[in-house]
Structure 1
Amino acid sequence: MDLPIFYSEEDEWKKVMLMYDSALKEVNTKLEILNNEFKLNHQYNPIEHITSRIKTPQSIAKKLRHNNKELTVENIVKYINDVAGMRIICSFTSDIYRIADLIAAQSDVNVLKVKDYITCPKPNGYTSYHMIISVPIYLSEMMVNVKVEIQIRTIAMDFWASLEHKIYYKFEGNAPESIRKELKECAEIVSFLDHKMLSLNEEIRLYNPESEIEHYREVVSESFQSMIRESYGTVIDEEDINQEEDEEKSSQEARQEMYEDLFENTKAEQPDSLEDVLERVEEAKEKNKFFRFFKHNVMNEEMDKM
């Protein structure tokens, strides 16, 4: 990256660029993991694509001059929040807030500032969701929290913003009133289109016969994952494995013995008449749900304690 010729702190500048580049890589990895997990669990991709960039030295110098600040490395880090920038493009507005919440929920992510231009669009019609976050970068001798600006938009929002940006620079920020009015109307159309597409997507989901099955699949999957979550970060020695196998074998034998006793007791209580059979059938219907719960939960818990 070429530096402005009047800039003399080249070594410090390279270190700062390393930090911002590392922060972009870290955030991009987080987003890739979240997107892959969402695709696996829901067969749906909330993120269409991601772009990232490091602000050019010329743009940085221009922004500092605009804010009447001296061009130094310290001022760049302190006053320029979008040196490292990332743009996330989604299909629907609901995905924007979902992704923003997932990013904010990361334990090592600190949300410094949020600007919701979807709820409150800019006067020219611009809509997007902006977050300034910091992420920890671990170096050989220290840890530094580095700022990254994230813009989250729908495809339609990004289409409008890209065209508006080109027109803005063509007229150097002084576009004729008629063009500004047309752009504002286009922004309103984009907002209406996003709303209609989101409503259509929600309606399609209501007609999906697999939606209820998918819900139960998610519940079962979460239950299973919660059981093995701690195992991801633990190491078990071979002696402990053998001990666990012995305990599991004893537990299985105890369950088998209990089931055999239950079966024998049931055989001993044969009904004396047809009326007794019908009565027991009705009782079984009433107790069926409870028995299933008891068998799969209470019995197993009691056997584990033995």
Structure 2
Amino acid sequence: MDLPIFYSEEDEWKKVMLMYDSALREVSTKLEILNNEFKLNHQYNPIEHITSRLKSPQSIAKKLQHNNREITVENIVKYINDVAGIRIICSFTSDIYRIADLIAAQSDVNVLKVKDYITCPKPNGYTSYHMIISVPIFLSDTMLNVKVEIQIRTIAMDFWASLEHKIYYKFEGNAPERIRKELKECAEIVSFLDHKMLSLNEEIKLYNPDSELEHYREVLSESFQSTIRESYGTIIEEEEIVQVVKEVKIVEESADTEESSKQQEESLNSKQDGWQEEGQTEEQEKKQGRPESLADALEMVEEAKEKNKFFRFFKRNIINEEMDKM
């Protein structure tokens, strides 16, 4: 009698590849968020582009055989650290270490191994920054930490590595000595180019007249964000919303009363001094104070903040305009 089969190597392989694919998506999303934040806060994106891949079965088998390991699912998970791989291409070498630090600072990222081939290049001249990390993948009944290899390079480093790989592939890994020497010299040129471009970029920053203003803007933005940081993950109950609305109405009514008194006083003074223009219509009076451009709106926001009338300004000039567009 045939016994039932409770284990399938093929099914286990599919589950493993699902885990690695999920880990790639997880890390890619993290990197996209970091890059978008940089573009928003600094008007500069350190990441030129990102590529990801799952290692092919042929490459996995070849690597296991090279290390004298049996081709099993267990050995793949244990000994192959780059089944899931992500490559990040940056503009400058300083961006490489900045991105590496940001990745390592993520609370759910565990850095397992780092290889810095920038400070210590390979004998053939290869330069790059490698990280092996693990990220949690949550399933319906469990959580698994899955390994991902991250390679971070500059554009120049990636250019050299891509061509070097193609040349060595043609010679099946046994390139002539002269070719290897020439490639090593090209790697040194690439390293010099990266260093030169970084120095130029740092010098350009010194000539930026808005650098100090940008610093103050970042400080103010961080101060504002710290006041609302806890609100992102909290819910305000309906009773609390009603109370907030009541408080806002009280502020609005108080501001309206104060403004109305000032307007009456100004109107009386202007009539007495002959400043009131005779041909001004009621429609023109209504249009007064409504911003005609984004710059005018921002200026009015600052004025309203200073006078504690931000809620009234927001309601009358922003909400009403959006309602008119509907």
TM-score by structure 1 length?
0.78
Q: What is aligned with 1:56?
A: 56
* Superposed CA offset, 1:63-96 (max 9, x none): 0001111000000000000000010000000000
Task: Identify the residue that residue 205 of structure 1 maps to in structure 2.
Answer: 205
The residue number in structure 1 matching 2:34 is: 34
Please give the per-residue CA displacement for 1:131-154, whole angstroms capped at 9, x wherever unaligned: 000000011111100000000000
Give the AA of the match of 1:16.
V
| Partner AA of 2:243 in structure 1 | Q
Aligned counterparts of 2:224 and 2:237: Cα–Cα separation in 1: 23
Report deviation, 1:172.
1.6
Query: Counterpart amino acid of 1:201?
Result: N
1:217 and 2:217 are equivalent in the alignment: yes
Q: 5 Å matches for 1:66-215?
A: 66-215=66-215
Q: How much has 1:240 moved relative to structure 2?
A: 1.5
* 1:10 aligned onto 2:10: yes
Secondary structure of 1:17's counterpart equals helix
CA distance in 2, matches of 1:181, 1:112: 34
Shift of 1:169: 1.5
Structure 2 Cα separation of the partners of residues 246 and 205 of structure 1: 49
Secondary structure at the counterpart of residue 29 of structure 2 = helix
For residues 223 and 250 of structure 2, what CA distance do their matches in structure 1 show? 25
Matched positions, count: 249
Secondary structure at the counterpart of residue 122 of structure 2: coil
Q: Deviation string for 1:227-250 (max 9, x for gaps)?
A: 000000111112123334566788
Aligned to 1:277: none
Percent of aligned positions with the same letter in both sequences?
88
Paired position in structure 2 for 1:265: none
Task: Give per-residue Cα distances to partners, 1:109-166, cap 9 Å, x unaligned.
Answer: 0000000000100011000000000000011111100000000000000000001111
Query: What letter is aligned with 2:124?
Result: N
Q: Give, as a single letter, the amino acid of the residue that structure 2 aligns with 1:228.
A: I
Indicate the residue corresponding to 2:298 in structure 1: none
SS at match of 2:34: helix
Q: Offset of 1:252 from its aligned partner?
A: 10
2: CA distance, partners of 1:84 / 1:168: 23
In structure 2, runs of 5+ residues without a counterpart are 1-7, 254-305, 307-326
Partner SS state of residue 173, structure 1: coil
Q: Which amino acid aligns with 1:118?
A: I
Task: Look up the SS of the partner of 1:82 in the other structure.
Answer: coil
Q: TM-score, normalised by structure 2?
A: 0.73
Report the 3-state secondary structure (helix = DSSP H, G, I; strand = E; otherwise coil) of the residue aligned with 1:53.
strand
- Partner residue of 2:65? 65
Distance 1:25 1:245 in 2: 41
In structure 1, C-alpha distance between the alignment counterparts of 2:248 and 2:25, rounded to whole Å: 44
Quote the Cα distance in structure 2 between the aligned partners of 1:25 and 1:246. Answer: 45
Mapped to 2, the partners of 1:245 and 1:217 lie a distance apart of 31
In structure 1, the residue corresponding to 2:236 is in which secondary structure?
A: coil
5+ residue gaps in structure 1?
Answer: 1-7, 254-295, 297-306
Across the aligned residues of Structure 1 and Structure 2, the Cα RMSD in angstroms comes to 2.0
Partner Cα distance (1:55, 1:196) in 2 = 35
Distance in 2 between residues matched to 1:184 and 1:76, nearest whole Å: 33
Secondary structure class of the residue paired with 2:152: strand
Could you tell me how far apart the structure 2 residues matched to 1:197 and 1:233 are?
42
Secondary structure of residue in 1 paired with 2:82: coil
CA distance in structure 1 between the partners assigned to 2:166 and 2:245 by the alignment:
67
Amino acid aligned to 1:138: F
Q: In structure 1, how many angstroms separate the alpha carbons of the residues matched to 2:134 and 2:53? A: 16
Q: Distance in 1 between matches of 2:110 and 2:251?
A: 46
SS at match of 2:146: strand
